[in-house]
Structure 1
Amino acid sequence: MCGKGGKVYITEDMLRAIVVEQSKKGPTGRNQVEQLEFCEVQKLDLGSRHISRIERLWEFTSLTTLHLNNNNIQKMEGLSRLTTLKCLNLSFNNIVKIEGLESLKKLEELNLSDNRITVLENMDSLEKLVSFNMANNVLKNLRQVCCLKKLKNLFTLNFCGNPLSEEENYKLFIIAFFPNVKYLDYRYVNSEIKKQASVKFNIELEKLSQEDLEREKKTEALKAQQAELQTHVDAFVESLNGSFLFEHMFKDDPLENKLQSVPEIAAQLFTFKQKMTELCVQLFETGLVEHRRRQAEVNSFFTSHSLTTADIMQKETKLLGEFEKYFKELKKESAATSQTDHTDELTKLQKHLLTLEFKLISQIEMMIKKLDVVLSEMIGTFSETAQEIFAQCRELEDKYHEKMQGIVTSTIEKVSRHHGVEDLSDDVKMVFLDKETVMGALTTAHENHLLIIRDRENQMITRANAWKSRLIKKLQEKEIQRNRKVLSHITTCVDHYDEELHKLFSR
């Protein structure tokens, strides 16, 4: 379909015609070609057709090679579903930006030569890339080529015709920073030029190597930290390995900051924080231990599940193998027997297979129920421990509040007599001039603190029970799906043999 300015748009009819045309050139016959589905096509050549936009290619889910060279394409798009693509040729177009390649993780060859690209970007996911052709583009900064160092499999590079290729020591730079490259700008990279490059950029290579090492260490440290935090979340005890809960209780309490100017209050707050933190850490450590115990039970379940399933499958395979052998012998001797006898044998096979499957269902159901009981007991024990510790936290808050009331009452009297409060600032003294207000604020803060503790307790217990329920439900649903597939397979298998028997005795 041609639009204004001679632009060509990809249509289904065009694709169908091209698939048929290109397949005729191969070993496939015409009748087969005309029935070929887009999802079966592995190679597609759309080069030199004045195409202005990449579209309508989502059905080519088996495509490994795609040529779109010598067209009028300006934007890299419409490629995200071509996840099997290994070779992509977009040379001789009007592309200005590298994009849309994130899902092409199997790509090995990429040709973007003779376009108008100015920046190397959006290529981190192309870890399998072996050949990259960027000849005759508008790359100016030689240093930006280093962003490709993450692609460890690069074997062939081409940057000739770019402004950066005119820089001094261009080839030595590329060869030094990409020691695995064998071909640069269509020329073989020999050991002698590799040695020259290494000597020329030795200091920069060492610096870059050190930077890579530091970056790798930071990445590994971040991964380890994220993994540890995820373990805390999975154990339902995140942010309990310190004073986080205590600080959360007081973060929106501006009055508390002023009250801490009173030495007695500061001392009480310090003691409260210390004891509260100890309880939280105790719960945190208990949670991690319980998490490991739960995980061990789950792992044990999956191990038993695999062994039990493998045992039944082995028996099913043996039965099918024996019947297949029996059926082959039957073909040789069918004239001397009746179909009824062999239909009985097929019925026996079906009965044995179903018996094995029902046995497996029963065993797995029992295993899931046992796991449910064990995990319920574990979650129950953990919840009881959590409730006890959170109850102690509330007791600490009650005692702290009680002592605070006494200290505040005493301080109010001192302020009213202007005695023993010389070290307090005027704005703090002002707080103690209105007894009703300050005591009301204390009560409100106390209620908020208790609410925060209760919310954290409820959150922990609710999440723990929800995790167990989700896991058991998922296991049950997965088993139902497995059972349906097996029963369908048995039915298909028996129907097949029944049909073959019918054909055999109908001759």
Structure 2
Amino acid sequence: MSQLYNSIEPNIIDDEMVQKAIEEQCPEDIGKLAKREGINLKDVTELQLGFRNILQIDNLWQFENLTKLQLDNNIIEKIEALESLVHLVWLDLSFNNIEVIEGLDTLVKLQDLSLYNNRISKIEHMDTLQELQIFSIGKNNLTTLEDVIYLRRFKNLRTLNLMGNPLCHDEQYTLFVVAHLPDLVYLDFKLVSDTTREVAVLKYQDLTEPLEREEAQALAQLEEKQAKQKELEYHKRLDEIHSASSYDIAESKRAEYKEDILQLSEALMTLEMLIADQLEELIKDFKGNIAVIASTFIENVKGIITQCRDLENRHHEKLLEISITTLEKSVKNQLDEDLPADVRMLLVDKNTIVNAVNASHGIRLLKIAKRESDILCNTYRWQASVTEKAFQNEIDRNRDRVREIVQYIDNLQEELDNIEILEPTE
């Protein structure tokens, strides 16, 4: 985009530019008021600084509550000076000359980031952007499909644009991206179809399954590390009580720590209640889905059983017709072949043969009915068992978790109570 500004001197964001931008984006009457009386920059939540030939980002530290920032269509070469914009949700740095992704560490609330049409060759330095939902990095210099794997850490990412990068020329591009980012909804402005997702998962499962195991292991290690860190902090606080310079200070620290333990207990119980409520809703949804599956299966079974009965009725009619014909030929000694003795026993008269065929028909219908009943009963039992097990597992999990919290808090309290604070001797 810089070629559009070859005859214009590059700019740095200064007070005059910022003030002018605020006045321009305000309604006319408010803009005039802002120009006359000024405006508190802390009240500004959106700022548009596109098409201003900006070379260097600067002078934005006063916008403490900014949530949306447009810096598109400039000649910016480096992402910098955004550290104070901690409330930023939307950032547009498209159509610039940026070569490296950096300077975004403090933007932990960022949900929508556009780096479209720059000179970036690697996706990196974005680890803290865990709220990221929309990411546009099309028309850059990304060359290898493996760069996409970095984006797996963003569990909320649903929309991704990579269009215009060299890596898009790979014939496996779409399947590779969809397989490695299973929660993606839109890729390059197109909805990811279920068919594409299924094909991608099957094609790359040998690559994605090890990644999933590694990520699970890394998460477990991180949780263990955090737990150890908390334990160290806990013992450090106990040491502070031991090493207090006076009895009053030690008692004060003990009382402070007791209050912290109480708050921790309340926080853990509150979180457990939230989890329990969320799981209850999920289990209700699960129960509904199981009911739909069971109902669909039952309807299919009933359809098949109906076909079986129709086939049996047609078989019965045909068998009855053949039997009567055979009886008539037997009476006239016109049978072409000898029949088994047990069959000849039935060829006495019409009533005998009809009764025998009807009895056989009735037995087969009973077997079909029993088979239907068995399948339906087993399906209903399975449905009840699966849903009851889900509910019971959640009840057990909740009880275990509450018991664990209580025990943990009791242990903390007991250890605190067991600390002896010696009164100073005179």
Give the shorter-chain TM-score range: 0.5 to 0.7
Question: Where do 1:329-408 residues align within 5 Å?
Answer: 378-380=420-422
Matched to 1:30, the amino acid is K
C-alpha contact (below 8 Å) 1:23/1:33 kept by paired residues: no
Q: What value does the CA root-mean-square deviation take over the aligned residues?
A: 3.3
Aligned residue in 1 for 2:226: 223
Aligned mates of 2:147, 2:41 — CA distance in 1: 39
Q: Deviations over 1:425-457 (max 9, x none)?
A: xxxxxxxxxxxxxxxxxxxxxxxxxxxxxxxxx
C-alpha contact (below 8 Å) 2:23/2:31 kept by paired residues: no
Give 3-state SS (helix, strand or coil) of 1:171's partner.
helix
Matched to 2:158, the amino acid is F
Matched to 1:378, the amino acid is E
Q: Deviations over 1:240-286 (max 9, x none)?
A: xxxxxxxxxxxxxxxxxxxxxxxxxxxxxxxxxxxxxxxxxxx9xxx
Aligned mates of 2:171, 2:31 — CA distance in 1: 56
Q: Compute the displacement of 1:109 (Å).
A: 0.6
| CA 1:226–1:37: 2 relative to 1, 3 Å | closer
Aligned residue in 2 for 1:133: 136
Give 3-state SS (helix, strand or coil) of 2:199's partner.
helix
| CA 1:33–1:194: 2 relative to 1, 3 Å | farther
Q: Does 1:184 align with 2:187?
A: yes
| CA 1:191–1:43: 2 relative to 1, 3 Å | same
C-alpha contact (below 8 Å) 2:24/2:31 kept by paired residues: no
Q: Compute the displacement of 1:9 (Å).
A: 2.1
Give 3-state SS (helix, strand or coil) of 2:135's partner.
strand
Aligned residue in 2 for 1:11: 14
Q: Does 1:57 align with 2:99?
A: no
Q: Compute the displacement of 1:378 (Å).
A: 2.9
Aligned residue in 2 for 1:260: none
C-alpha contact (below 8 Å) 1:41/1:62 kept by paired residues: yes
Q: Does 1:66 align with 2:108?
A: no
1:236 pairs with one of 236, 239, 248: 239
Aligned residue in 1 for 2:150: 147
- Percent identity, aligned pairs only, is 34
Q: Deviations over 1:77-121 (max 9, x none)?
A: 111111111111000100001111111111111000110011111
Aligned mates of 1:134, 1:114 — CA distance in 2: 7
C-alpha contact (below 8 Å) 2:51/2:73 kept by paired residues: yes
Give 3-state SS (helix, strand or coil) of 2:421's partner.
helix
Q: Compute the displacement of 1:235 (Å).
A: 3.4
Give 3-state SS (helix, strand or coil) of 1:107's partner.
coil
Query: TM-score, normalised to structure 2's length?
Result: 0.55
Aligned mates of 1:8, 1:296 — CA distance in 2: 57
Aligned residue in 2 for 1:30: 32
Aligned mates of 2:134, 2:262 — CA distance in 1: 47
C-alpha contact (below 8 Å) 2:83/2:103 kept by paired residues: yes
Aligned residue in 2 for 1:102: 105
C-alpha contact (below 8 Å) 1:87/1:110 kept by paired residues: yes
Q: Compute the displacement of 1:40 (Å).
A: 1.1
| CA 1:10–1:294: 2 relative to 1, 3 Å | closer
Judging by fraction of residues, say which structure has more helix.
1
Q: Deviations over 1:402-433 (max 9, x none)?
A: xxxxxxxxxxxxxxxxxxxxxxxxxxxxxxxx
C-alpha contact (below 8 Å) 1:42/1:62 kept by paired residues: yes
Q: Compute the displacement of 1:76 (Å).
A: 0.3
| CA 1:303–1:230: 2 relative to 1, 3 Å | closer
| CA 1:11–1:4: 2 relative to 1, 3 Å | farther
Question: Where do 1:302-321 residues align within 5 Å?
Answer: none
- For structure 2, the residue ranges without an aligned partner over 5 or more in a row are 243-250, 264-415
Matched to 1:379, the amino acid is I
Q: Compute the displacement of 1:189 (Å).
A: 0.8
Q: Compute the displacement of 1:5 (Å).
A: 6.5
How many residues are matched? 259
C-alpha contact (below 8 Å) 2:22/2:31 kept by paired residues: no
